[in-house]
Structure 1
Amino acid sequence: MNKPPRSQRKHTPKAKNQGLYTRAIKQSFIKLNPKIAIKNPVIFLVWIGTIITLLVTINPSLFGNFNDSNERLFNGLITLILFSTVLFANFAEAVAEGRGKAQADALRATKSDTIARLILPNGLIKEVNSTSLKRDDQIKVIAGDIIPADGEVIGGMASVDESAITGESAPVLKQPGTDIASSVTGGTRIISDELVIRVTADPGKGFIDRMISLVEGAQRSKTPNEIALTVLLAVLTQVFLIVIATMPPIANYVDNPVSIAVLISLLVALIPTTIGGLLSAIGIAGMDRVSQFNVIATSGRAVEACGDINTLVLDKTGTITLGNRLAEEFIPVNGHTLAEVANIALISSLFDETPEGRSIVDLAQQLGSQADFDINTATGIEFSARTRMSGTDLDTGIEIRKGAVDAIKGFVRSRGGNVSNDLDRTYEKVSRLGGTPLAVCQGDDIYGVIYLKDIIKPGIRERFDQMRRMGIRTIMLTGDNQITASVIAQEAGVDDFIAEATPEDKIEVIRREQAEGKLVAMTGDGTNDAPALAQANVGVAMNSGTQAAKEAANMVDLDSDPTKLIDIVTIGKQLLITRGALTTFSIANDVAKYFAIIPAIFASTGIGALNIMDLSSTQSAILSALIYNALIIPALIPIALKGVKFRALTADQLLQRNILIYGLGGVIAPFIAIKVIDMMVSAAGLA
């Protein structure tokens, strides 16, 4: 039977894991290099202890008169166990790094040097290597080409396959002039037509380059929380080191001298080796979980900040509602007919390329309306966040507008027209239905209201309830009027909302929350979102958004799903919960190890009465405690990589739960395990 070509063979998860673990084992030995090992002070101290116990294994009398064959075997066993502890800690970090490197290799496979069609200032096209492209260069790509660099579409319209980046097989339409469809990523493939692209990234600084560096860990720096915990562990280690250093004089005074190997064993058993060995793995795995979720974070600091978020600021459209509001109905006012409203609505939307604008044109055409003039002679008026209107100016001087009801009222009054109560009644009717009312007018006469229908995303209320249980406040921002916003906010279950919001309002609400000492997260995709994304503690830009939004944010969602911000917060909290739980467990372990080793060392002085575990001998107690200390690191690697299961609880509830499970469990588990290991060590005759 012929085997398929290597490129077509599928690798099973088991085979991939075997390769990952093989590389991790190799890295475990490479990390023994002192220049690398010193980055983890707790494990580095264990490594130094290993070297010292190796020396006293070779020469037991090196630090005292303990020269006998039994002592040599005991020292050798301690050396082996300590060496295993260091390797297990290195292995935990190497596995976490290996997962990131595997993802980086997959990304690197999508990145290749290609020939780019550079458009010269004189309009001619020159073929150059993609690595020579610089920011602001203009290039042309045609069907079948791999887009050679990140950029903004400035000409043409084409379908682009972004599956290499997002994993989504459906092609995406790209065209200039829109926030959601003008940004392209190097490494993606154009599958139809052609585009003209302005390059937005210098060589080596493109999106895929940043992704590779981040998931591979080349640019990983410790987060503030991780640094603080590392300092705490280093201080605890120093305290125990001072305590152990004072023990030899006391032991000699009571005529019970203690060997250097036993002192090192006691030190290693008491210092927080478990969390010391897993701390880096937890941080790397947190970044990896975010990247597996198709989100690229610029730093571990951003991921960690998600876990401390107090406030979520969310746009309504696309986040709380399904997005793309569609025209549902035309409602005449001021005595106009439905046909007249449909005709004016059609003309006002001829130059509106948004989904809402297209839906208005479609609905008007379904009602029989059509433009009875040459469109080329008309001028399109683009929507502005300040005017909150758009429309069409005819060559006859007639001005046709559609937009927010208040904005249209102001426009009509500025032209000398009057506003009837009929408009206000229609406005309230649509708003109370949860829809968005747009008024349409011709000059000084209001013709009617367009009912744009919003649909709340299924399950979004439950998501906000979950946030609330975690103590996170949700604020909805929308350009809708007060009534519509309140209806949507109540239906979605957000804590607060701001209606008729401008870009300045977004920044203001973020600054107000931050002034109260809160951490704020928000999503955005447009250029006008960039200032708010930069101001937020966690800013998540959509991959379909503008380059300005991506550069301002500290996370990019490759799937362009605004609701993913809620999931990112969950991942951040899980990272902090995992770190806290394993730290609690590690420190709680010291109680059992204390009761195992201290009574055994001073058994002849009467302190041995504290041997509540009834361990077989001094040597067996020490070996059992060290073996447990070593084995618990690989045992906890799956939890460090996968994370402690997240539950939507408040900080106080989580603390109580962690103390109960990982604190109390961390005290009880080692008592049982050390006793079992002691029985096995004694049965094997090792002590």
Structure 2
Amino acid sequence: MSTTPITPPASAPRSRKPSSAFGVRQLAASLPDAFRKLDPRVLWRNPVMFVVEVGAALTTALAIAQPFLGTAAQTAASPTSLAFIWSIAAWLWLTVLFANMAEAVAEGRGKAQAKSLRESRTSTLANRVASYDAAADAGAENSELQQIASADLTLGDTVVVSAGELIPGDGDIIWGIASVDESAITGESAPVVRESGGDRSAVTGGTRVLSDRIVVRITSRPGETFVDRMIKLVEGASRQKTPNEIALNILLASLTIIFVVVVLIINPIAAYSNAEQSVPVLVALLVCLIPTTIGALLSAIGIAGMDRLVQHNVLAMSGRAVEAAGDVTTLLLDKTGTITYGNRQAAEFAALSGVDAETLATVAAASSLSDPTPEGKSILTLATEQGFTFPTTVDGTVVPFTAQTRMSGVDYADGSSVRKGAGSMVSAWVAESSTLTDAQRAELDAIVTRISQVGGTPLVVARRDTSGVASVLGVVYLKDVVKTGLAERFADLRRMGIRTVMITGDNPLTAKAIAEEAGVDDYLAEATPEDKMDLIRREQRGGNLVAMTGDGTNDAPALAQADVGVAMNTGTSAAKEAGNMVDLDSDPTKLIDIVGIGKQLLITRGSLTTFSIANDVAKYFAIIPAMFVASYPGLAALNFMGLHSPASAILSAVVFNALIIIALIPLSLRGVTYRPGSVSSILGRNLWIYGVGGLIAPFIGIKAIDLVIALIPGF
């Protein structure tokens, strides 16, 4: 199908709760996949575990052939006995199976989510408009509609969706406003408002219109809808290995090759002192030498990182994006809605001398009649509350607010016009024919400075009469509030070596006041889309990785340029296509959490790699003395664990090597606990915990296993 409508559940949870990292139910569900992954055509992509599988197959073949060769030893304690060989073979197969289990469990959590999405798919009919002209037919009211299956919709088609109907595909609203239930996608049961002409015009196939009527232009190709991509991502079908993961895989493969060569030349060298070893013992040595622990868990760590984002209602378009989030050094944050609550409200009409408040309020309201933003609506509310009257219709051309002009207003039919917006932009608009005196200019600057210094946003209001003479009337004070707790979070980011930059269209004084209150490191005032791009490029040229959020079409170039671009789900299709992550909750502050999840992924991978290497070092003390103690009795001094026999020592190391993998699966899925701090402090803490822990754990584990094996008759 080209689209994937979803029937929303009766009640949807607010957020996706993480499931148990490694429960019995998940184990049972993942077991078939773990066995399927034993296929060498699948396993060869993991060189470490492929070598283990080859060793397991070779040992199994030797165990089968041993009785026919007539060389079986009489005691199980001998490293050449049939019981020993079968034991080694069995635990080598379990080692591979446990490694496959780690990946299967990680993938299974995503597949369960994908399955629920597939099961909720329903086919729906779409009311396609053959030829759409908003000016001619007022939103397809009188157009001829053609009912077709949603699967037959193509890129660029126009459809009409009424209250109670499912939106048949991803698209942008080009006419109308409606309340939409997006619970099937976001998990949020409260409906949201989507409307044409702004940054909240994107709609997702499968969501339901609850009220009104909208016209939607389809922006997704068949099979490439948002839900199609969501299914592929959560089930891991489109996960690509990240650069760091590829580099680590190359390192592990190189170490494996080196140790294969080392093991192959042991017997020719040992032959000079009659210390040759049996093939099962050499295979056991190889498996304990190579980094099987991290080789088994590496893929699961990457999959689990993306899964943790899904649990936070964030979709990463690639594992590369998750990893890049962990390496971010510069965070670009919009002021409105991210650092401040974003519901700026008009609090005061500050008129210049010689201008009465009613004139200022009337002109400000007139310029806000067609302004759909909360700020514009609050100006109308304030004017009404203060008893001022103003026209309720516009006899002229509406000039909408844009990120470039940072003004809005009306050009009337009689030649006059009004504007409200950023001081610098309004000043430029009135500059050619301004009647502003030096005293008025000083008074205007004083009002703007007063409002800016308290963190407010000053909107300058101006009017141009029919003769073309412009005059500034005064300032509207927009009040905003910095979100609580952000200063502490920014301090945590600073300790992690991450620089925060606030981006705002406000003037420098307002930007400075908000930046100081919020505790950000830097700010970019009066920012245009081009300014954002320039800032990102400067940071990247300086060797920094940049993350930012955005929701509008004007944010798309910057989102595409940033190393981590998080698009809001409420934003336009252009923004979501440009970013490499989509926040289903449309919460700009979640960028901070995304960086934390990325760092947790990197820390988890590094910690378990450290543990694996330290783990291998400790295992040498169990196997090497046991292998050569018969030929070199002095090596018995290295057997300070007091292992029962050479055979039990070797088998204990192999058993521990297998069991440690399954013991670490929950940690690889859950992730190492992440606490904000400097790189050096995090590195030092993890070296102590996972480096020293990796050295100590094998001695305890191997000794415990050896005590159990010693109870088996013959060992």
Q: TM-score range by the shorter chain?
A: over 0.9
SS in 2 for 1:186: coil
Superposed displacement of residue 14, structure 1: 8.2
Tell me which moved more, 118-127 or 201-210: 118-127
Superposed displacement of residue 12, structure 1: 13
Superposed displacement of residue 289, structure 1: 0.5
Matched, 1:83 2:102: no
Q: Distance in 1 between matches of 2:587 and 2:448?
A: 31
Q: Distance in 1 between matches of 2:425 and 2:683?
A: 51
Q: Distance in 1 between matches of 2:46 and 2:480?
A: 53
Matched, 1:341 2:360: yes
Match of 2:199 in 1: 179
SS in 1 for 2:214: strand
Matched, 1:415 2:441: no
Q: Distance in 2 between matches of 1:146 and 1:382?
A: 31
Matched-pair contact (CA < 8 Å) for 1:388–1:403: yes
Identity of aligned residues (%): 55
Residue type matched to 2:591 in 1? L
Offset from partner CA, 1:137-179 (integer Å, 9 cap, x none) = 0111122211110000112221110000111111011211111
Superposed displacement of residue 685, structure 1: 3.0
Matched-pair contact (CA < 8 Å) for 2:260–2:286: yes
Q: Distance in 1 between matches of 2:20 and 2:290?
A: 35
Matched-pair contact (CA < 8 Å) for 1:346–1:370: no
CA 334–413 in structure 1, closer or farther in 2 if over 3 Å, else same? farther
Superposed displacement of residue 216, structure 1: 0.7
CA 18–668 in structure 1, closer or farther in 2 if over 3 Å, else same? closer
Matched, 1:565 2:584: no
Q: Distance in 1 between matches of 2:70 and 2:257?
A: 24
Matched-pair contact (CA < 8 Å) for 2:342–2:480: yes
Offset from partner CA, 1:478-517 (integer Å, 9 cap, x none) = 1111110000000010111111111111001100010011
Q: Distance in 2 between matches of 1:376 and 1:584?
A: 69
Superposed displacement of residue 21, structure 1: 2.2
Alignment of 1:243-254 (within 5 A): 243-254=262-273
Match of 2:28 in 1: 22
SS in 1 for 2:674: coil
SS in 1 for 2:239: coil
SS in 2 for 1:319: coil
Matched, 1:460 2:486: yes
Superposed displacement of residue 126, structure 1: 1.4
Offset from partner CA, 1:258-277 (integer Å, 9 cap, x none) = 10000000110111111111
Superposed displacement of residue 194, structure 1: 1.8
Q: Distance in 1 between matches of 2:59 and 2:69?
A: 10
CA 110–322 in structure 1, closer or farther in 2 if over 3 Å, else same? farther
Match of 1:100 in 2: 110
Residue type matched to 2:65 in 1? N
Offset from partner CA, 1:578-603 (integer Å, 9 cap, x none) = 00000000000112210000001111
Residue type matched to 1:129 in 2? A
Matched-pair contact (CA < 8 Å) for 1:464–1:493: yes
Matched-pair contact (CA < 8 Å) for 1:350–1:392: no
Q: Distance in 2 between matches of 1:336 and 1:199?
A: 50
Match of 1:440 in 2: 461
Q: Distance in 1 between matches of 2:508 and 2:568?
A: 27
Q: Distance in 2 between matches of 1:685 and 1:143?
A: 76
Matched-pair contact (CA < 8 Å) for 1:66–1:259: no
Match of 1:469 in 2: 495
Superposed displacement of residue 89, structure 1: 0.5
Superposed displacement of residue 410, structure 1: 2.3
1:661 to 684, 689, 706: 689
Offset from partner CA, 1:172-230 (integer Å, 9 cap, x none) = 112111112x1100111111222111000011100000010111111111111111111
Superposed displacement of residue 67, structure 1: 5.3
Q: Distance in 2 between matches of 1:85 and 1:685?
A: 25
Q: Distance in 2 between matches of 1:209 and 1:636?
A: 33
Superposed displacement of residue 69, structure 1: 6.4
SS in 1 for 2:461: strand
1:137 to 157, 167, 189: 157
Matched-pair contact (CA < 8 Å) for 1:602–1:608: no
Matched-pair contact (CA < 8 Å) for 1:327–1:359: yes
Offset from partner CA, 1:412-443 (integer Å, 9 cap, x none) = 23223225211111111000110000111222
Tell me which moved more, 399-408 or 64-73: 64-73
Matched-pair contact (CA < 8 Å) for 2:404–2:529: no
Match of 1:313 in 2: 332
CA 686–530 in structure 1, closer or farther in 2 if over 3 Å, else same? farther
Offset from partner CA, 1:430-460 (integer Å, 9 cap, x none) = 0011000011122222211100111111111
Q: Distance in 2 between matches of 1:580 and 1:112?
A: 44
Matched, 1:533 2:559: yes
Residue type matched to 1:35 in 2? R
Q: Distance in 2 between matches of 1:628 and 1:231?
A: 25
Tell me which moved more, 259-268 or 401-410: 401-410
Matched-pair contact (CA < 8 Å) for 2:644–2:706: yes
Matched, 1:46 2:52: yes
1:168 to 177, 181, 188: 188
2:237 to 204, 213, 218: 218
SS in 1 for 2:276: coil
Matched, 1:671 2:666: no
Superposed displacement of residue 18, structure 1: 4.7
Superposed displacement of residue 52, structure 1: 0.7
Q: Distance in 2 between matches of 1:57 and 1:558?
A: 55
Match of 1:287 in 2: 306
Matched-pair contact (CA < 8 Å) for 1:342–1:367: no
Tell me which moved more, 534-543 or 18-27: 18-27
Match of 1:353 in 2: 372
2:519 to 493, 497, 500: 493
Matched, 1:113 2:101: no
Match of 1:615 in 2: 643
Superposed displacement of residue 474, structure 1: 0.5
Superposed displacement of residue 60, structure 1: 2.7
Matched-pair contact (CA < 8 Å) for 2:403–2:554: no
Query: Can you give the 5+ residue segments of structure 1 that lack an aligned partner in the other structure?
Result: 1-6
SS in 2 for 1:314: strand
Matched, 1:156 2:176: yes
Matched-pair contact (CA < 8 Å) for 2:22–2:665: no
| Count of aligned pairs between the two proteins | 678
Matched-pair contact (CA < 8 Å) for 2:338–2:588: yes
Residue type matched to 1:414 in 2? E
Matched, 1:630 2:658: yes
Match of 2:287 in 1: 268
SS in 1 for 2:211: coil
Q: Distance in 1 between matches of 2:675 and 2:436?
A: 57
Match of 2:467 in 1: none
Match of 1:387 in 2: 405
Q: Distance in 2 between matches of 1:111 and 1:510?
A: 40
Matched-pair contact (CA < 8 Å) for 2:21–2:670: no
Q: Distance in 2 between matches of 1:14 and 1:85?
A: 23
Offset from partner CA, 1:15-65 (integer Å, 9 cap, x none) = 995543222111111111111111111111111111111111112389995
1:234 to 253, 257, 282: 253
Superposed displacement of residue 393, structure 1: 2.4
CA 61–438 in structure 1, closer or farther in 2 if over 3 Å, else same? same
2:215 to 185, 190, 196: 196
Matched-pair contact (CA < 8 Å) for 1:64–1:259: no
- RMSD (Å) for aligned C-alpha atoms: 2.0
Matched, 1:481 2:507: yes
Matched-pair contact (CA < 8 Å) for 2:502–2:523: yes
Matched-pair contact (CA < 8 Å) for 1:63–1:260: no
Residue type matched to 1:339 in 2? E
Residue type matched to 1:57 in 2? A
Matched, 1:651 2:679: yes
Q: Distance in 2 between matches of 1:12 and 1:239?
A: 40
Match of 2:7 in 1: none
